[in-house]
Structure 1
Amino acid sequence: MASQDVVYTSTENHAGFKIDVVQYQPTKRPIEDRFSVSTKSSNRLLLGVYDGHGGSHTAEHISNILPTALLSHPPEKHAQIFRETDHTMIRAFTRDHSLLRPKSKSSDWVHHAQVVRAGCTALILDIDVNTLIASYANAGDCRAVFYPPVDAEGHLRQTEDLNAKTPSEQQRLAQEHPGEDLVVVSGRLFGRLMSTRGFGDACYKLPHGTIGNWQHRRYIDALSAVKESGKIPMNSQYHAMFHTYRTPPYLTAAPEIGTMQLQKDSFVIMATDGLWDCVSSNDAVQIVRGGLEQEVDNLAEHLLHSVRATRAPGDDVTILLLHIIHT
């Protein structure tokens, strides 16, 4: 494996849980993925993967603040915390650009704009260490695959990828924006963005104003002021990007939630879509099982190495692999 492409590897042990991590960067730009491993006393273990796009600011911010917020409340509050976190970010930005208020100090308003201009999906797994009940919250198209399966037919348990190509997401958007036929074009939101759930991406969430999208244009001007170097600013292509922008928000940070019962010797693969573009869930599980038989040191790195042997990822890859070694 080309060492210059693997930007991070680690192995941690937490009270009977082995967590292997690998991050891979196939492009010259800085990696936009982030991850988190957090604990609360000895009772809860929380893992997160965050797939950034349009820059790394949102993923960096969310990976730092979301785990603490989630661990401050019971898992039943996951969906609420996701929504409130995103709302707080958007509100901080809009208050900076209100006609009736002065901006925050320069470092703050720039940060507020950066973390909502870019975006990220988020998948978290919150494990009760005593019961091995795992609560997940998924806002986007990162995926968690659980092994072993529980049904008699051997079907894998996994989260659903939620993006503009997902039929259920297309149906949701059609119901929330009736009569708007160009919300999803060629499997992308407005023909541009794959994400339909996640944090940031304020350009598709901000109000438009009553006449001529005047309010939205003001916000886009502000977001364009903190654009990534080398990219065309949004305000210079406003009409092309937003000529059908009518009833925001078009993205939501609300996650799909659920629970899984884990057990001794089970494992969970959590990864950004850069991995799942290259390998099926079933094949990934078989690779990890082979790694367990071979007693490899880092199962996440073993999975990445095996996938790259047959197909080179074209996007950033972050893999967290949780293995329950004893209870």
Structure 2
Amino acid sequence: MGEITHEALQHVAGGVEVSSVQYQPTDRPIEDRFSITLEGGRLVLGLYDGHGGSNTAEHISKILLPTLLRSPPHDHRGVFEAIDNAMLDAFKADHAPFRARSKEWRHHAQVLRSGCTTLILDIDIAGMLVHYANAGDCRALVCDVQDPDSEDVGPLQQTTDLNAKSPSEQERLKVAHPNEDLLVVSGRLFGKLMSTRGFGDGYYKLPRGINNWQHKKYIDVLSSLDQNSGKVPLNAQYDSYFYGYRTPPYLISTPDVGVMSLTGRGFIVCGSDGLFDLVTSEEVARTVRKGIKDGVQNLAAYVLSAVMAVKLPGDDVTILVLKFTN
């Protein structure tokens, strides 16, 4: 039986509050992470949707924000790529010929064995702008409430989901890997993984070597983490997972970036795909509008309750809602 594992309301700045909720539908620990950070005039919301374990999401939730805040928002793409490359380099260095493993080798392997999609909203409160960086299929909505007495959805801006089902990602894979058939099978990368962007998932990023010998060595290391886990190790399924492994990386950390405008009348919703697999952006926005009109305190929990009244989620759900209170 699932349960709500987190519910909170935070006043993060003058006239700005963020409500949050997390729901875990299974007995395993929740794999999602999120962060809410205010530094100077920048309010940064982060959503990290983990899969294959929580190691990557936990790691990225701790290291990404401090690095982003040392750079201006237009550097988001480069920061994402640099952090992911550093993770890959640390793992490869641990297993280079004639080199001893570092003391952190297990951690380096764990954060590549699992993965996480990541959505960052870097909000300039004074300028009323949202700089977004989206690597995956978490989604952000920015809604402008033009008529506070109406429950109708006003102008809606939103990020684009990026996964193996997205036509734009399928086209990207075709262009990046020409003449490679069956990259996306049944809406999944190599028929296995929904994600096409994000951190971790190193088994679809690591170099191949002649006849895949180097890649197989790396997979043996990652498979050692599956011992006593009850999982079938990756190396025992190598031909199934990597039947067409020719020109990695197939999964990238490069985020889609852009800017959305805010008004003091509006609100922002961030949600993991566990939410948007069940409801549309318009339905979520309409629910938040009704909650604001009815004086609901925790709007994130209100959205979750409305969704669960119709259908129980089958995946982890994390929801953040930012509202202006002035």
Q: Are 2:23 and 1:24 equivalent residues in the alignment? A: yes
Identity of aligned residues (%): 54
Query: How far apart, CA to CA, are the structure 2 residues paired with 1:14 and 1:240?
Result: 47
User: Residue by residue, what CA displacement relative to the aligned partner does 1:28-83 show, whole Å, maximum 9, x if unpaired?
Assistant: 11100000011213x11100111000000000000111011101110010000000
Structure 1 equivalent of residue 149 of structure 2: none
Task: Give 1:46's aligned amino acid.
Answer: V
Structure 1 equivalent of residue 208 of structure 2: 208
SS at match of 2:225: coil
Please show how residues 35-184 of structure 1 align to structure 2 within 5 Å. Answer: 35-41=34-40, 43-105=41-103, 108-148=104-144, 155-184=155-184
Task: Give 1:50's aligned amino acid.
Answer: Y
Structure 2 equivalent of residue 253 of structure 1: 253
In structure 2, stretches of 5+ residues that fail to align are 147-152
Measured after TM superposition, the shift of residue 149 of structure 1 is: 7.7
Query: How far apart, CA to CA, are the structure 2 residues paired with 1:276 and 1:299?
Result: 16
Query: How far apart, CA to CA, are the structure 2 residues paired with 1:27 and 1:314?
Result: 8
Structure 1 equivalent of residue 236 of structure 2: 236
Task: Give 1:160's aligned amino acid.
Answer: T
Structure 2 equivalent of residue 219 of structure 1: 218
Measured after TM superposition, the shift of residue 227 of structure 1 is: 2.3
Q: Are 2:6 and 1:8 equivalent residues in the alignment? A: yes
Measured after TM superposition, the shift of residue 325 of structure 1 is: 2.0
Please show how residues 259-274 of structure 1 align to structure 2 within 5 Å. Answer: 259-274=259-274
Query: How far apart, CA to CA, are the structure 2 residues paired with 1:282 and 1:170?
Result: 25
In structure 1, stretches of 5+ residues that fail to align are none
Query: How far apart, CA to CA, are the structure 1 residues paired with 2:241 and 2:196?
Result: 16
Query: How far apart, CA to CA, are the structure 1 residues paired with 2:314 and 2:130?
Result: 31
Query: How far apart, CA to CA, are the structure 2 residues paired with 1:149 and 1:220?
Result: 50
User: Residue by residue, what CA displacement relative to the aligned partner does 1:231-252 show, whole Å, maximum 9, x if unpaired?
Assistant: 1110111112112110000011
Structure 1 equivalent of residue 33 of structure 2: 34
Q: Residue 17 of structure 1 contacts residue 325 of structure 1 at CA under 8 Å; is this kept in 2?
A: yes
Query: How far apart, CA to CA, are the structure 2 residues paired with 1:273 and 1:155?
Result: 22
- Structure 1 segments, 4+ long, off by >3 Å, are none
Query: How far apart, CA to CA, are the structure 2 residues paired with 1:100 and 1:17?
Result: 55
Measured after TM superposition, the shift of residue 294 of structure 1 is: 1.1
The alignment yields a C-alpha RMSD, in angstroms, of 1.4
Q: Residue 143 of structure 2 contacts residue 155 of structure 2 at CA under 8 Å; is this kept in 1?
A: no
User: Residue by residue, what CA displacement relative to the aligned partner does 1:277-322 show, whole Å, maximum 9, x if unpaired?
Assistant: 1111001111111111111110000000000001111100000111
Query: How far apart, CA to CA, are the structure 2 residues paired with 1:24 and 1:74?
Result: 33
Q: Residue 149 of structure 1 contacts residue 157 of structure 1 at CA under 8 Å; is this kept in 2?
A: no
Higher mean C-alpha displacement, 248-257 vs 32-41: 32-41
Query: How far apart, CA to CA, are the structure 2 residues paired with 1:166 and 1:267?
Result: 26
Query: Taking structure 1 as the reference length, what is the TM-score of the superposition?
Result: 0.95
Measured after TM superposition, the shift of residue 10 of structure 1 is: 0.8
Q: Residue 145 of structure 2 contacts residue 266 of structure 2 at CA under 8 Å; is this kept in 1?
A: no
SS at match of 1:207: coil
